[in-house]
Amino acid sequence: MSDFRKKCISYERVVGTFAAIPHPVAIEVTAATGLDFLCIDAEHSQIDRELIENLVRASDAHHIPALVRVPSHASEWIASALDAGAAGVLVPRVSTSAQAKAAVMATRYPPIGERGVGPGRASAYGYRIPDYLKAANESLVLAIQIETAEGLANVEEIAAVEGVDIIFIGPGDLSVSIDAMGPAGAEKLNAAITTITNAAREAGKAVGIFRPSADDVGKWAEAGISFFMLASDTMFLGASLAAGVAAARNA
């Protein structure tokens, strides 16, 4: 089992960020900051399948695990990301146990799943297929994202699916789906996050969440969340530059 997956499923606190800038330089800069992992965002960015491999390669150069948030449940996307050498995948908008099971099938090799064997980068382009097959099921991280009212309603069944490592909460889409946007909806959203967290931990799953800043990480860690996706490279770039400009103008 990889050290990263061990940390995740043993509820150690890990902190990463979304990587949305489609260039290896941005990955290398991000990977050098001391975070535990990064997640290449192929859902909400202009990062395509061909580029994913080079971005994973850039992260590997700094020995930082790179997950890939795939754009859909499609098994082809999951296989492509893993064949490129990703440390795991984050599958968005999982709202039923059937969708969670399909993610497991696409991520794990037989006898657990149905992932196909291919000569990609992860297996040294075919030269180390036996070694990769032996390690992959125990090493790869599967995180599934609950971010809809339907997913909230089905959280206990979703969390019970074997083969899922992390139940990841997407507060943005979840707040829209359950009509809990903005300050007026904060209490309702927080209650939903707590419900998901409790159900996941009861099922023995680690829990992750996106946070735009570190301001309330301690609060959610106390609630049982251990996998934190902190903002994104674009958010940090914009915030840092805006702060620098403001400081320069006021100096």
CATH code of the domain containing 45: 3.20.20.60
Could you tell me which residues are beta bridge partners of residue 210? 229
Q: pTM for the complete prediction?
A: 0.96
| Beta strand 141-146 pairing with 227-232 | unpaired
Q: Which is catalytic among the residues 23, 44, 62, 73?
A: 44
Instruction: Give the start-end residues of each E strand in the chain.
Output: 14-19, 37-41, 66-69, 88-91, 141-146, 166-169, 206-211, 227-232
Average pLDDT of the chain, as a whole number: 97
Q: For residues 68 and 90, is the Cβ–Cβ distance under 8 A?
A: yes
* Domain enclosing residue 147, as ranges: 3-250
Query: What per-residue confidence (pLDDT) applies to 2?
Result: 82
Query: What per-residue confidence (pLDDT) applies to 1?
Result: 64
pLDDT average per 10 residues of sequence, the chain (251 residues): 92 98 98 97 95 97 98 96 98 98 98 95 96 96 98 98 98 97 97 98 98 97 98 97 97 89
For the chain, the domain total comes to 1
Q: For residues 231 and 209, is the Cβ–Cβ distance under 8 A?
A: no
23 is catalytic: no
What's the pLDDT tens digit per position in 136-148? 999 999 999 999 9
Q: Tokens for 172?
A: 């943005």
| Phi-psi map region of 205: left, alpha, beta (phi>0 left; psi -120 to 50 alpha) | beta
